[in-house]
């Protein structure tokens, strides 16, 4: 293994198709990772820097239509004694818009409790609030909020029954993943109903994976998720890929895929555990691995153009396996 110190200059020239960076959220930080466009070099030339830290666990990352990058911060660590019901998460904008009035950071009228995935759809920003089994939706143009419950509560109507954690938009549908602390559901709803805050029956419901995270489709159309507690990726038609560890956080690359792998540890030991990224080609053959020491769990991964200017608050050593 080789140790590489992060580079101060990541090369901010306009990228070609394969010159995307990766933005990762972890238990302790938001990390920017530059990778080259060819799969055979995915690990050898990886460099990283810290974009944000100090606001507890960071989870969802989203890029809006105006090329602004948003991240969800829980303002609480995994090992903290504070219960989820007392959390007050925040939305952070990592980019700096020229028009600060138009792009002010929204403040939700309801608390973000156990904040998970973020996603953008047209003019709206969606934030999954797992403790409340809800999705908070912000309209940039109207500066207004919608509080959406994808499923109705069931007796005894306690919070966090479904533990929603991931979103995936497909045409006029939004898929929502219900983790359920066991057999997980992938549920599709009309976007129009969600934007009106209406709880309606799902258009599709698929049971897939155990304690699952993330939703995506393969090139052949197969709907997939990370069966995290089983250490594998699974598809609705039977496709499986063993990864080991706790897979969560996944992104499509120009030449393949990248999957976040966290260590299976007790909650008190997760904050500063080592995180890994596994790189795969288009046929799901692993071509490289890297380790980011002591950053905690990988929560989300988003490819971003290398031309975007993000803050830098520190450098990060990367272990190339």
Asked: is 2-217+299-320 a CATH 2.60.40 domain? The reply is no
Going by the DSSP 8-state scheme, the letter that residue 78 receives in this structure is T
pLDDT at 302 over 70: yes
- Supply 224's token pair: 């997939």
Confidence of residue 2 (pLDDT cuts 50, 70, 90): very low
pLDDT at 246 over 80: yes
Per-residue pLDDT at 321: 81
Give dist(CA 248, CA 227) in Å, integer. Answer: 9
Angle among Cα 55, 123, 23 to the nearest 5 degrees reads 40
Confidence of residue 13 (pLDDT cuts 50, 70, 90): very low
| Ramachandran category for residue 181: left, alpha or beta (phi over 0 → left; psi -120 to 50 → alpha) | left
Per-residue pLDDT at 10: 26
Angle among Cα 162, 165, 166 to the nearest 5 degrees reads 125
Confidence of residue 240 (pLDDT cuts 50, 70, 90): very high
pLDDT at 218 over 50: yes
Q: How many residues does the chain have?
A: 321
Note the pTM of the prediction, 2 decimals: 0.90
- Supply 212's token pair: 């699952």
- Supply 76's token pair: 């609480």
Angle among Cα 180, 284, 264 to the nearest 5 degrees reads 40
Q: Are 292 and 31 in contact (CB under 8 A)?
A: yes
Lowest mean pLDDT among 121-135, 257-271, 300-314: 257-271
Q: Are 270 and 296 in contact (CB under 8 A)?
A: yes
């Amino acid at each position: 293994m080789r140790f590489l110190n992060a580079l101060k200059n990541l090369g901010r020239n306009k990228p070609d198709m394969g010159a995307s960076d990766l933005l990762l959220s972890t238990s302790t930080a938001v990390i920017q990772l530059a990778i080259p466009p060819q799969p055979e070099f995915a690990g050898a030339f990886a460099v990283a820097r810290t974009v944000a830290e100090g606001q507890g666990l960071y989870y969802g990352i989203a890029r809006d239509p105006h090329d602004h990058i948003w991240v969800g911060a829980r303002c609480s660590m995994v090992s903290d004694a504070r219960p989820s019901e007392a959390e007050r998460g925040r939305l952070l904008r990592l980019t700096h818009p020229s028009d600060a009035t138009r792009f002010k950071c929204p403040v939700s009228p309801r608390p973000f409790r156990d904040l998970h995935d973020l996603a953008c759809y047209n003019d709206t920003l969606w934030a999954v609030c797992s403790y409340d089994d809800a999705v908070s939706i912000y309209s940039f143009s109207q500066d207004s909020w919608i509080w959406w419950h994808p499923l109705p509560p069931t007796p005894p109507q306690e919070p966090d029954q479904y533990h929603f954690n991931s979103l995936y938009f497909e045409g006029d549908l939004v898929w929502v993943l219900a983790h359920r602390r066991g057999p997980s559901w992938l549920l599709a709803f009309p976007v129009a109903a969600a934007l009106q805050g209406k709880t309606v029956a799902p258009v599709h419901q698929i049971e897939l994976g155990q304690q699952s995270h993330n939703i995506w489709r393969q090139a052949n159309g197969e709907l997939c998720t990370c069966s995290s507690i089983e250490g594998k990726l699974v598809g609705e038609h039977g496709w499986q890929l063993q990864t080991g560890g706790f897979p969560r956080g996944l992104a499509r690359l120009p030449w393949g895929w990248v999957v976040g792998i966290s260590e299976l540890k007790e909650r008190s030991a997760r904050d500063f555990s080592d995180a890994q990224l596994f790189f795969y080609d288009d046929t799901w053959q692993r071509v490289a691995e890297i380790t980011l020491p002591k950053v905690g769990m990988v929560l989300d991964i988003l490819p971003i153009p290398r031309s975007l200017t993000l803050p830098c608050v520190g450098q990060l050593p990367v272990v190339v396996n």
